[in-house]
Amino acid sequence: AQKVTQAQTEISVVEKEDVTLDCVYETRDTTYYLFWYKQPPSGELVFLIRRNSFDEQNEISGRYSWNFQKSTSSFNFTITASQVVDSAVYFCALSEASSGGSYIPTFGRGTSLIVHP
Amino acid sequence: GAVVSQHPSRVICKSGTSVKIECRSLDFQATTMFWYRQFPKQSLMLMATSNEGSKATYEQGVEKDKFLINHASLTLSTLTVTSAHPEDSSFYICSARLPLGIEQYFGPGTRLTVT
């Protein structure tokens, strides 16, 4: 069974601080996919990134960066120089390739990020 | 990018009535769509997988007679909450995948309030 743990329920920072959101996963599959989604107060989930299990390269996109480490089963998300607009709930999710092609993700409980001006 | 719309965004209905929520993929065809439910400050709970031209696959514990799903075309899936009760009040979100895709793209959600 697949499992995603986001231990941080809520993080509060001041604008321009760097912040890291943790995600730890469990799976028995050797092929799987990891995702991060952002859910702002409006409610719509926004896809941020997908990572394949066979690609451990870290990724940077503007102020966002992701650190994927299979050795620790973690897929952490860092926001550099946070801004008020980054305030949202962030979900980490996992899909297993053995799901018969459905790739239905298991979501973590989410981390609420509050960025104060 | 893939765009998914949902309508209505917000609905208030009386107990005992039925409510239909539409989910559309705007710029791609989606053979499979998904329906989720989200309670305040909680994660998403998958309710069912909607397959175009066939019956939906419901998750354990989800009443298929209460939450009717119809996927009549490659761009439209509907969720009908029948005989709604106050405990059905929630945020309902649909999603879709691109053909041969893996990640899901989500609609903006529908907030249902049953009085």
pLDDT digits (tens, 9 = 90+) for B53-94: 888 999 999 999 999 999 888 899 999 999 999 999 999 999
Give the pLDDT confidence score for residue B19 in this predicted structure: 97
* Pick from A76-80, B65-69, B86-90, B101-105: least confident: B101-105
* pLDDT classification of B52: cutoffs 50, 70, 90: confident
B55 Cβ contact partners less than 8 Å away, ≥ 6 residues apart:
none
Closest CA to A5 of A19, A22, A30, A29: A22
Q: How far apart are CA A62 and CA A28, in angstroms?
A: 33
Q: Closest to A43 (Cβ–Cβ): which among B46, B105, B109?
A: B109
Residue A19 has pLDDT above 80, yes or no: yes
Give the pLDDT confidence score for residue A21 in this predicted structure: 98
Give the pLDDT confidence score for residue B101 in this predicted structure: 85
Q: Within an 8 Å CB–CB cutoff, is residue A114 touching chain B?
A: no
Residue A82 has pLDDT above 90, yes or no: yes
* pLDDT classification of A58: cutoffs 50, 70, 90: confident
B8 cis-preceded (ω within 30 degrees of 0): yes
Mean pLDDT over all residues of chain A?
A: 94
Give the pLDDT confidence score for residue B2 in this predicted structure: 85
Q: Closest to A50 (Cβ–Cβ): which among B93, B102, B108?
A: B102
Q: How far apart are CA B3 and CA A101, in angstroms?
A: 22
pLDDT tens digits for range A85-115: 999 999 999 999 876 677 889 999 999 999 9
Ramachandran angles phi, psi of A95, nearest 5°: -120, 140
Give the pLDDT confidence score for residue A57 in this predicted structure: 85
Distance from CA of B103 to the nearest CA of A (A): 7
Tell me whether residues B44 and A107 touch, CB distance under 8 A. Answer: yes
Give the pLDDT confidence score for residue B53 in this predicted structure: 83
In the numeric block, the tokens 């419901």 are attached to B58
Give the pair of three-digit tokens for residue A25: 């996963």
* Chain B residues within an 8 Å CB radius of A33: 102-103
One-letter amino acid for residue A56 of the chain: E
Q: What is the mean pLDDT of residues B91-110?
A: 92
Q: How far apart are CA B53 and CA A96, in angstroms?
A: 25
Q: Within an 8 Å CB–CB cutoff, is residue A35 touching chain B?
A: yes
Give the pLDDT confidence score for residue B43 in this predicted structure: 93
Residue A1 has pLDDT above 90, yes or no: no
Give the pair of three-digit tokens for residue B73: 């075309």
Q: How far apart are CA A15 and CA A113, in angstroms?
A: 11
* Chain A residues within an 8 Å CB radius of B49: 102, 104
Percent of chain A at pLDDT exceeding 70: 97
Give the pLDDT confidence score for residue A62 in this predicted structure: 95
Q: Closest to A107 (Cβ–Cβ): which among B43, B49, B91?
A: B43
Confirm if A2 and A102 have CB atoms less than 8 A apart.
no
